[in-house]
Structures are given as structure tokens and as C-alpha cells.
Structure 1
Amino acid sequence: MSPTDAAGAVVEAAGVRLRLDVSRLSEAGLLGALTTEVNGACDRAEDTPDGPAVVVELVGSEPGGPIGGWPAELAIADVNRWERAVRRLERLGAPIVVVADGLCAGPALDVLLTADHRIATPGTRLALAREAGMLWPGMALHRLVQQLGVARVRPLALLGRSLTADRAVELGLVDEIAEDTEAAVAAVTAELAGLSGSELGVQRRLLLDASVSSHEEAIGVHLAACDRTLRRTNAGGGETR
């Protein structure tokens, strides 16, 4: 049996695995529990530098149901702790693979948008959370605009529309749809093997900054990354990814 930490993160030979049940957003204390679970998975991953992938399974509510809002009975300190945990996940030195099933909104969408590879089941639906008829203005909005652009996010943010799994793949927000998610996870984690550590962080940063940085702002960071790659190659480090 795989060892499990107090927060529920399971350590397997293939990496750290975390199952987040986000189907009951109305439960008081849910966000605090999710924050603890995400931080626990990050602890496990950080204990194994250059380790294998972190796989997060998101269990959402019925995809045909209402989008709903944010977990109940929150203080802004709770939201801040959650956003810090998500940012920590996003910056791990290990590949992040997320499997989404059901309605992916609120905290589930936050986690999905941090992933290096995103898998959805056929019935998955993606949406921004809404509270009392208003958009929840968390960092998912920022990440969506960064990854899709303002025009594509506007209907989701202002009109409360959602994305089917097929549409999310068309937009590049989800990488693949799979009924056999275990097989899909096994295939992609094998592809990602060896991609970890500080170089993974650099590659993520270059990808994310490309959409918001000018050539003049970006060239210094890209040249520094090229220099690191050349130094590793010339030192006999072999092929880099």
C-alpha cells in the first residue's frame, strides 16, 4: 500500500497523487481542507527533488448542475492561504498532471490551470465560479486571461458561460479527453519523466511570460536560459529537455 501523508497525498512509484473532492462547495471549512491537502502534496513533492510527476484528481459535482459559487463561510485570510497553496503547486519542481471529472469550477479550476498537462473525462465542464450572481474575482480569472486571452474569457466572466470538454480542448485549455484516465496518466507521466527541477520552472516561466512580455523585456530571460543550457551541455550534462 502506498504511504499517505496527513493531508491525503499518496506517494507512489510514479509520483505524488492527490484526490481533491470539490463536489460540495457549500460545506463550511472546505477551502481550509483543500488548502491543507494541496500543501501536503507539495511537501511530499519537495521532499523528492527532481522527482516524478504530481497527479491531481479533481472530483467535481454533476456537470449538468448549477455552476455555484465559492466555499461557504470564508474570510479573506482563508482565500489568501488557498491562493498561496495554488501558487506553490504551480511552481513545484515536478511536472503537474491534473485529471478533471464533472463540473470544474472554483477551487477545481484554480488547480487545473496550474497543470503542465490537463486531462478531462468526456462529461467535464469548466466554468468560473459565481457568488450571489457575481463573478468570483479570484486568480483563476487572471490565469484564464493569461492562457486564453481577454476575448475568449469575456463570455465566461461576464455572462457566466461554461466550456465543455471538447471546447476546452479546441481552445487548448485541456490537452486531452479520456475515458480511461489511468491509461492517459500513465502515458503522459512516462513522457514527462526526467523533466523536473529548476529547468522545469524556467521553461514554465518562459511560456507564461511570452503572452505578456515584449521582445525587449523577454530577451534577457531567454538569453540567460540559453546560457544555462549551454553551460550544462558543455559541461557534459548531456541532452537537456
Structure 2
Amino acid sequence: MPEEAVRTGEVLGIHVDGTRGLTAELIEALGRVCDQVEDQQTAVIVLRIRGTVEGARVPDIALVTKWEGVLRRLERLPAASVAAMWGPCAGVALDAALAADYRVAHPTVQLVPGMLSGGVWPGMALYRMSRLSQRAAVRRAVLFGEPIGADEALAAGLVDEVEQEPAVGVERLVERLPGVWGPDLAIRRDLLWGAGAEFEGALGGHLAACDRVLRRHTDPV
């Protein structure tokens, strides 16, 4: 069932269905995953990700803020996270994939920036993409909302592998990852990304931009 966490040994899995958009249920489900990792010392999180929302859906800025908070919590957990991705991934699917430590993509994958009111949604996916890569494909996605195909995403460093069977690639990784569990994992992530404080500074600007877009979308002309 989408967005339902299932514990199996040292692996905790969650499905993120981008077609359902941002919901309180998704935020709560990912929050429960984080709780279980911290309480039970789960070693690996597997995110199974796919889907885009059909048509524009106007999110609530309070939900956006909570969603970004739980994604940041995912990024700081003492467990490694791996995303298996299929087909077009937009909205919450793209957000969750980019927050994972490692991404295995099916050849059909497209990373699709969110669009609203004729423009690119200024969410933290743009921040994560630009931190991972400065390739031309990323710039086009950020500026114009152009989708990034699997091969382009691999070349740009946005995904780590392209596999016909992403789940098989993830299973291979899961066998290696339990040994990396621990609080020092968050420290290594910060060293990889640079100064951790930069995220908090960026978050305020992105949320303010999202709020402005929502006001333009909902305020009467």
C-alpha cells in the first residue's frame, strides 16, 4: 500500500506515490519511518518512488513546511537511505528521491520539476538538485522546468545507477549498507555537502518563494 512503512529485519521500506501529491498522511508515514529508525536502530531505509500529479494541485504552505522538515529529518538519520525509482518522478516523488543517500533509477525515469501558475515550483528540490550538480540539464530544469531523463540524470550525478531492475540494484546495496549505521553517518553527510547551516538558510528563502507563488495562485485577480 502506498506510503505504508513495513519493517523487515534491518531494512525499513516506504512507498512514495507522486500521483497522490503532498498529504498529511505521507508526512506522518515518513515521520513514523524516522521514529522507527531512531527507536529500533534500523540500518537501511528503502524508498520506492514513482509518479507525478496529474494537473496542478495547490499545496498548503504549512504542509510544505512540515514536509521539508521531515525530509531534512530523513537526511540526518543515522541510517543510510536508498531510493529505487521508476517512470516520471515529480513533486513529493522527486523531493523524496533527492533526499536519499543513493538513487537507483529505471531507464524510464524522468526527474520532473514541479510547475504551478506557469512557472517552476521554487521548492527545495531545486536546492538539492543544484547542490548535487551544476550541469546544463539541471540549469534547464531549474529555469524552465525541463524534465531530466535517466541518462542525463546519471551524467549529472542526480542518480547513481540506471538499472532495468532498480529493486535488484537496491537489494545489492542493502547487503553492504548495514555496517554504515551510526551517528557518524550524519557527520559524513555534512562533510559531503559542506556546512550544514547552509540548508537552514536556504530553507527560509525557498519557503518564502513557495508562499509567494501560492498567494499569486489563490488570491483573486
Query: What TM-score do the two structures reach when normalised by structure 1?
Result: 0.75
Q: Which residue of 2 aligns with 1:45?
A: 37
Q: Which residue of 2 aligns with 1:157?
A: 142
Q: Secondary structure at the match of 2:164?
A: coil
Cα deviation for residue 68 of structure 1 reads 5.3
- Are positions 1:184 and 2:169 aligned together? yes
Q: Which residue of 2 aligns with 1:171?
A: 156
Q: Report the Cα distance in structure 1 between the residues aligned to 2:13 and 2:90, rounded to whole angstroms.
A: 21
RMSD: 2.4
Q: Secondary structure at the match of 2:184?
A: helix
- Are positions 1:115 and 2:100 aligned together? yes
Cα deviation for residue 139 of structure 1 reads 0.9
Cα deviation for residue 13 of structure 1 reads 1.6
- Are positions 1:206 and 2:180 aligned together? no
Cα deviation for residue 59 of structure 1 reads 2.4
Q: Secondary structure at the match of 1:98?
A: strand
Native 8 Å contact 2:119 2:144 kept in 1: no
Cα deviation for residue 92 of structure 1 reads 0.8
- Are positions 1:60 and 2:90 aligned together? no
| Cα offsets for 1:72-125 (capped at 9, x unmatched) | 353211111111011111111100001111111111111111111101111010
Q: Report the Cα distance in structure 1 between the residues aligned to 2:39 and 2:68, rounded to whole angstroms.
A: 22
Q: Report the Cα distance in structure 1 between the residues aligned to 2:54 and 2:131, rounded to whole angstroms.
A: 22
Native 8 Å contact 1:68 1:130 kept in 2: no
Native 8 Å contact 1:121 1:179 kept in 2: yes
Q: Which residue of 1 aligns with 2:209?
A: none
Q: Report the Cα distance in structure 1 between the residues aligned to 2:182 and 2:48, rounded to whole angstroms.
A: 22
- Counterpart AA for 2:139: R
Q: Secondary structure at the match of 1:174?
A: coil
Q: Secondary structure at the match of 1:83?
A: helix
Cα deviation for residue 190 of structure 1 reads 1.3
Q: Report the Cα distance in structure 2 between the residues aligned to 1:10 and 1:188, rounded to whole angstroms.
A: 18
Q: Report the Cα distance in structure 1 between the residues aligned to 2:20 and 2:143, rounded to whole angstroms.
A: 24
Could you tell me which runs of 5 or more consecutive residues in structure 2 were left unpaired when the two chains were aligned.
Answer: 199-221
Q: Report the Cα distance in structure 2 between the residues aligned to 1:37 and 1:88, rounded to whole angstroms.
A: 13
Amino-acid identity (%) = 36
- Are positions 1:89 and 2:74 aligned together? yes
Q: Report the Cα distance in structure 1 between the residues aligned to 2:49 and 2:43, rounded to whole angstroms.
A: 19
Moved over 6 A (4+): none
| Bigger helix share | 2
Q: Secondary structure at the match of 1:111?
A: helix
- Are positions 1:13 and 2:4 aligned together? no
Query: What TM-score do the two structures reach when normalised by structure 2?
Result: 0.81
Larger radius of gyration: 1
Shift of the 21–161 alpha-carbon distance from structure 1 to 2, 3 Å rule, reads same
Could you tell me which runs of 5 or more consecutive residues in structure 1 were left unpaired when the two chains were aligned.
Answer: 214-241
Shift of the 39–192 alpha-carbon distance from structure 1 to 2, 3 Å rule, reads same
| Cα offsets for 1:158-217 (capped at 9, x unmatched) | 22211111111111110111222232111111122210111111110000007x99xxxx
- Counterpart AA for 1:31: T
Q: Report the Cα distance in structure 2 between the residues aligned to 1:122 and 1:153, rounded to whole angstroms.
A: 18
| Cα offsets for 1:27-84 (capped at 9, x unmatched) | xxx42222111111111111123x32000101214xxxx9855xx3532111111110
Q: 1:125 aligns with which of 84, 104, 110?
A: 110
Shift of the 195–17 alpha-carbon distance from structure 1 to 2, 3 Å rule, reads same
Of structures 1 and 2, the one scoring higher in RCO (CA 8 A, sep 6+) is: 2
